[in-house]
Amino acid sequence: MSISFLPAAPWSGRSDPEDGSDALRLHQLVRDDAPRALIGFACEAGVARNKGRPGASKGPAALRSALANMAAPDGARIGQGGFSDLGTMVVEDDDLEMGQAALADRIASALSRHERVIVLGGGHETAFASYSGLAKAYPGKRIGIVNLDAHLDIRAVGESGGSSGTPFAQIRALAGDAFDYLVLGLAEESNTAALRDKARDWGVTTVSDHALIADARAADDAIRDLIGRNDLVYLTIDIDVLPHYQAPGVSAPAPRGVPLSVIEHLVGEVMRVTAELGRPLPLADAVELSPPHDRDSMTARSAALLIRRLLLA
């Protein structure tokens, strides 16, 4: 079969028992039935259809590896809190649509048991599966989408089907009038005039990379507005929003990008405002990592900083 499910493997990493009971790392916090969970989507098809650099299928394993040796947050204890690893959906060959449907079902099931699920892609085609699973888990709820990305990813679906460049057009077709989409870090030169015109026609709100470089808080009002008018929030992080020196190992490296410190602020602001306004943040994903192009695992390590916060903060 070209679609399979790989159960979670045991996590391992450095241990420092000589430093006492607080010397914990993330690999020591993995447990069954934790409040938050990871699930992987090992897929190459979306990036391949979008003519990007290969390697996205290796993303989930590389992100888990980058997370494993990170220090646990203050107060962490083995057997308490922590997070679960729900395994990885594996898509071989070009069976993208079947893989997305299978992942959506896994996500919907996971959200019945966990308060927050983080999906490790895969290319940005992961987003269509993520949103579909969230919509299944929360029928009738208005979902606001926050995308940290240099790209709009609203291309029309072509003859070969969806790709890493089409997920939010597909989501709009699914959501209809409830489609509410905010893109932070948009690079004008990486999106054609046709896509930018379509975004305006669809009511998509964008904050450019230039604006965020000049002022890390440039998107704060837009974030609050989107969260305030929706029932819950889906946060999706395309790692290529980061500059090439912080994220060399992606499908499309950014010549400019938005610095990691600013992206950390944006993730924190989404988490802060959802908590303040009482809007759930049940789902996030991190996509477009290409480990074969990742020097010194810098990209995976940068993304892992964001994932750690979403998992354990």
Q: Which residues are annotated as a binding site for Mn(2+)?
A: 124, 149, 151, 153, 238, 240
Residues within the annotated binding site?
Answer: 124, 149, 151, 153, 238, 240
| Residue partners of 156: CB distance under 8 A and separation at least 6 | 166, 169
DSSP letter assigned to residue 138: S
Nearest to 174 by CA among 101, 119, 121: 101
- Please state, in angstroms and rounded to a whole number, the distance separating the CA atoms of residues 39 and 287: 12
Strand 83-91 vs strand 36-43: parallel, antiparallel, or unpaired?
Answer: parallel
Apex CA 39: angle with CA 280 and CA 95, to 5°? 115
Task: Please report, to the nearest 10 degrees, the dihedral formed by the alpha carbons of residues 97, 101, 107, 110 taken in order.
Answer: -140
User: Hey, which residues does 38 pair with through a beta bridge?
Assistant: 85, 118
Task: Give the list of residues 6+ apart from residue 105 with CB closer than 8 angstroms, or none.
Answer: 133, 136
Distance CA 123, CA 274 (A): 26
CA torsion sign for 207, 209, 214, 220 is positive
Q: Which residues contact 162 (CB under 8 A, 6 or more apart)?
A: 46, 49, 96, 97, 100, 125, 128, 170
Distance CA 293, CA 83 (A): 29
Q: 52: Cβ–Cβ under 8 A, 6 or more apart, which residues?
A: 123, 164, 251, 252
Is residue 121 a contact partner of residue 89, using CB atoms and an 8 Å limit?
A: no
